[in-house]
A and B are shown apart, each in its own frame.
Chain A
Amino acid sequence: DAGVTQSPTHLIKTRGQQVTLRCSPKSGHDTVSWYQQALGQGPQFIFQYYEEEERQRGNFPDRFSGHQFPNYSSELNVNALLLGDSALYLCASSLGRGGLMNTEAFFGQGTRLTVV
């Protein structure tokens, strides 16, 4: 049973460019959350997708957008990249049907984004 997979593992982009990160959830999971983790810090919640809709959003600008597909996989898009967007981007999947939140989340290995 494959866990959460993210691609790519590493990425280097230039300031002002756009980037798309991808996530496939663990089999059977229907909810995907995205996090940004700066070096030495804890993960910061970007947003969560359930039933192809953004269910909740953290304190991130509109440059950060996402999408969830019918097969529950998800993309994170970041436009107009800034140097400060350099971080590890983590995807986590969980079971969210019915609003049930007392379930553990499974994390992917992350995408290391460097903006130069």
Chain B
Amino acid sequence: SQQGEEDPQALSIQEGENATMNCSYKTSINNLQWYRQNSGRGLVHLILIRSNEREKHSGRLRVTLDTSKKSSSLLITASRAADTASYFCATVMAGGFKTIFGAGTRLFVKA
């Protein structure tokens, strides 16, 4: 099974609302990353949080990491229609180079 699993699988909100996505993983990690994918094409890197960090911000994005619970969350504030996409968390296992993605959360922001 996949290392990272996102929750919820799909999310539909109104423009201006906040969107929260969660990710759980199974083993010790070097870092956790969040990516966005539009229309099944290439992934765009959003944010990387290291295993010794607890929170990170980038513009309207806020990521938290709880290594004791092996979980992370991505918060998008004041969502826009352009935020409509699939969001994936990805982990690099401690001592390795393999990046493991979850199945993703499909976010739909209604204008």
Task: Name A's B-contacting residues (CB within 8 A).
Answer: 4, 33, 35, 37, 39-45, 48, 50, 55-56, 58, 88, 90, 92, 96, 99, 101-110
Question: Is B71 interfacial (CB 8 A cutoff)?
Answer: no
CA distance A44 to B30 in the complex (A): 18
Neighbouring A residues of B30 by C-beta, 8 Å: 101-102
CA distance A62 to B50 in the complex (A): 33
On whether A105 and B42 interact (CB within 8 A), knowing A42-B2, A42-B88, A42-B104, the answer reads: no
Size bin of chain B's contact surface: 20 to 34
The 8 Å CB contact of B101, one of A4, A43, A106, A110, is A43
The 8 Å CB contact of B42, one of A33, A44, A90, is A90
B20 to chain A, nearest CB (A): 19
